[in-house]
Amino acid sequence: MSVRKPVRVSRKEQKVATRARLLDAARACFRDRDERDVSIQEIAAHAGTSVGSVYVHFTSREEMIAGVVSDIHSELLERMRDALAGQTERDLAEAVKGLSHHYLGILRGLRPYLPLLAIHSARTVSVDVLRVGGATAPLVQMLNATLASLAVTTRIRGDVGLLSAGLASLWRGAAISAWSRPATDEALVADALADMTLALLERVAPGALEADAILMFRAMAQFLKTPASSSRSSPG
């Protein structure tokens, strides 16, 4: 019979827990609202802590917002990965259609946070692309890797980086378009998105549509499995 030790929460564990609570509170406050209308006071109150405590965990308001965005983004990637990994259709045209429906469904779930994601990604694009160089969004990287692997067996017309950027924008654009329509249109948008994707794919990678969708989507899921740097794990 073992003697149960009293539960001891270390300072470090406490710190991680408070940080997570603050991120959750911020996320709740950002739901359906313009991020600029949310004060640090409100977030601190929601988390049951003080404004001072916010600045123990985040060097700035921006850093806290980045943490919330990173959490939402990880969720989006995880659900995309599950959709890709769970895919059982061999025919690429059908599989792309299935994926576009999945994608819009995932975005529907995150809809209250999409303004926050859009603004943050515009900032990231500005800063990263214009100053540091290179598209760093995981979905673009995944498309890049997929097209590069397609290039082994099919003839790719043009530049893999550009095609990836083009496809990623197309999906983003369709999503924006879907938000402005009644929810009942979602299936229509998903079909159109798949159709446009296939048109581009046929043009830029002739023969690509003969690829085995299960193998291809599995490789894409594998790519997204690379753990994104989680905002939760670095409390300092």
Q: How many residues bind a copy of itself (CB under 8 A)?
A: 49
Q: Which residue type does 43 have?
A: I
Please give the residues from 10 up to 49 whose contact with a copy of itself meets the rule CB under 8 A.
Answer: 34
**70 touches 20 (CB < 8 A):** no
Cβ atoms 67, 230 nearer than 8 A: no
Pick the binder of a copy of itself from 46, 101, 108, 172 (CB under 8 A).
172
* Minimum CB distance to a copy of itself, residue 225 (Å): 25
Q: Which of 85, 93, 156, 196 binds a copy of itself (CB under 8 A)?
A: 196
Q: Tell me which of 66, 129, 145, 156 binds a copy of itself, using CB under 8 A.
A: 129
Question: Does residue 168 contact residue 82 with C-beta atoms inside 8 Å?
Answer: no
**89-128: contacts with a copy of itself (CB under 8 A):** 111, 114-115, 118-119, 121-123, 125-127
Q: Whole-angstrom Cα distance, residue 203 to residue 200?
A: 5
CA distance 45 to 41: 6
Q: Is 148 in the site for a copy of itself (CB under 8 A)?
A: no
φ/ψ region of 226 (left if φ > 0, alpha if ψ in -120 to 50, else beta) reads beta
Displacement of CA 1 from its chain's centroid (Å): 48
Binding residues for a copy of itself (CB under 8 A): 34, 111, 114-115, 118-119, 121-123, 125-127, 129-130, 133-135, 157-159, 161-163, 165-166, 168-170, 172-174, 176-177, 179-181, 188-189, 191-193, 195-196, 198-200, 202-204
